[in-house]
Structure 1
């Protein structure tokens, strides 16, 4: 059997690249699988050294890229090399796509119009619009994030989803919502990054010498005042340096080392060697769980649904810091974390997700 995956894979984003890699690697244990190199320029332009655009936001981004051009010239080749050498890529064309007996629309926010297009429209390819009638069509952990569809968009969405043979998403609330839209069950499954266990990640990608020693790993999307207060508190009480892994500009003087040029392999090493993790990222949370690192997930706002959905499943939703009141409740007992129960729950959910995936691949 030949399996093709379409997802967000060609970006300088750790979560996107590693979720695509993980899904491919799991399927590869049983089947011939490739990632289809569909180039959505709205997302793939993140691999440009300097990104250009006409809007004010785009112009601001161009200026930022120019100011951080040196680290971008180091980090982007790492991503491009990983994508070309480790992702089992095939071209997006009819000759290649027709060879697959099964097509999968993978994880990440491929069904979020605000994420995948500049004008907030659906991308048909992410709904397997190119599939032929005789190809098996599966959605694995496909997500719409926190996007709120209009009634007109719901109608279009229902038509797209109705063409699938099997449907799943990575958020529990989204699975219920999409079930009502399409009129049949949409399974709730784990994000692909959680389908590989710690040893599997390390066997494939680890470079354990990237950073060593006691450090608090900070991996964030939004640089909020609450986040800074969390870091201040932890740095003082854990007596550890703070390493920020993030490609942006200056964050705060409390950061001891700002790594702007970590590649996907470096990213895995940073999580593996960290003493503690602070993140507002969904994938920062998934890798904290995988590597059993004590962590706090600082609420990013509307997108906290992705994090809370996962942490409720494993019984660790208390690790979310929603506001200043949550921060005040932190004490020394929170600086260690017993993962025994969480690992048991995660193992059970991991098996359920694998069963969903492979049972539908074998149809």
Structure 2
């Protein structure tokens, strides 16, 4: 059976690339999986050595990339190597080529996780991209979604009509956030919309470690790993608080030229492989990222999840399922109440239950 996956896969975002990898691995249990190498220019620009657009933000981005050129060059090499080695990509396709039927040789089509249904993520002008709703697939072909995400976007009435039209002939639909399930269920009351885990959680800790040749052993040095995307004031305060409380060095992983705050080690050129190893060897994690939270939980690390305000819905949905809602920090006073350890016997048991349910969803969707 030949399965085509459409997702966000060619960007310098750890969560996006690793969720694409995990989705491919999970689907591979049911057939030969290829990721359609769809060329969405808004997303593809993340792989440019030097990025530029005609705006104030674009000029700042250009200056940043030029100043950070050696690190960015090494980072892109590592991402490209991982993607080419692990993704089983098709030829590159523009949207017009897909609509012409140049990828019509698959038995099943799946649109996968990450924020593919959030117009603010996939489009410079904040428009829905029909390709990520499998609009190019023939009407008689089987198609379903797995853990697709709307993020924190609120659909307008016109967008709701478009989404309804695009999803009406899906055999099964699933999303990775509870509020996304509610939003789509209102748009498609006649269909069942399932809530499943993020693809990075489909693989167990052991599966990740085995895939990346990681041996579980005592680290040479204890450190707090910081993985921040929006770099809020609250996470900077969290770094200062937990560094002092735990008396450990701070290792921060991000692509920015300057460190988030005063830290011991700033890793700016890590690829997906280095990212996984840094997580696996960390003693404590501070993150405001959804995927950062996923890996902390899956790798059984004590962690502090720092709220990024309205963007925390994905973390809230996940941690609610696992009984870990108290690990979300909304304000500085919350730091003092965070338990030092996590009962991972209980948490991992819950995670295994929802992981198995999500794998069963995939099996049912393939067979339907």
1:160 corresponds to which residue?
166
- Contact 1:244–1:255, Cα closer than 8 Å, also in 2: yes
- The question of 1:82 aligning with 2:90 is answered no
1:161, CA displacement in angstroms? 1.4
CA distance in 2, matches of 1:10, 1:212: 33
1:82-121 to structure 2, matched below 5 A, reads 82-91=82-91, 92=93, 97-121=103-127
1:327, CA displacement in angstroms? 2.4
Q: What secondary structure does 1:335 align onto? A: coil
Q: CA RMSD in A?
A: 1.5
Deviates more, 1:344-353 or 1:222-231: 222-231
Structure 1 length-normalised TM: 0.96
Which consecutive segments of 4 or more residues in structure 1 shift more than 6 A?
none
Residues 180-222 of structure 1: CA deviation (Å, up to 9, x unaligned): 101222100001000000111111124569x852100000012
CA distance in 2, matches of 1:253, 1:324: 16
Q: What secondary structure does 2:4 align onto? A: strand
Q: What secondary structure does 1:99 align onto? A: coil
Q: What secondary structure does 1:218 align onto? A: strand
1:189 corresponds to which residue?
196
Structure 2 length-normalised TM: 0.94
Query: What runs of 5+ residues in structure 2 fail to find an aligned partner?
Result: none
1:144, CA displacement in angstroms? 0.8
1:19-98 to structure 2, matched below 5 A, reads 19-91=19-91, 92=93, 97-98=103-104
CA distance in 2, matches of 1:36, 1:338: 40
2:181 corresponds to which residue?
175
1:27, CA displacement in angstroms? 1.4
CA distance in 1, matches of 2:80, 2:330: 36
- The question of 1:307 aligning with 2:315 is answered yes
1:177, CA displacement in angstroms? 1.4
- The question of 1:257 aligning with 2:262 is answered no
CA distance in 2, matches of 1:202, 1:54: 42
1:354 corresponds to which residue?
359
- Contact 2:177–2:317, Cα closer than 8 Å, also in 1: yes
- The question of 1:14 aligning with 2:14 is answered yes
- Contact 2:145–2:175, Cα closer than 8 Å, also in 1: yes
- Contact 2:181–2:194, Cα closer than 8 Å, also in 1: yes
Q: What secondary structure does 1:254 align onto? A: coil
1:289 corresponds to which residue?
297
- Contact 1:140–1:168, Cα closer than 8 Å, also in 2: yes
- Contact 1:107–1:141, Cα closer than 8 Å, also in 2: yes
1:356, CA displacement in angstroms? 0.6
CA distance in 1, matches of 2:167, 2:331: 37
1:195-344 to structure 2, matched below 5 A, reads 195-206=202-213, 212-330=220-338, 334-344=339-349
CA distance in 2, matches of 1:264, 1:207: 14
Q: What secondary structure does 1:97 align onto? A: coil
Q: What secondary structure does 2:286 align onto? A: strand
Query: What runs of 5+ residues in structure 1 fail to find an aligned partner?
Result: none
1:132 corresponds to which residue?
138
CA distance in 2, matches of 1:230, 1:221: 14
| Alignment CA distance shift 1:247-1:207 (3 Å) | farther
- Contact 1:298–1:322, Cα closer than 8 Å, also in 2: yes
- Contact 2:238–2:332, Cα closer than 8 Å, also in 1: no
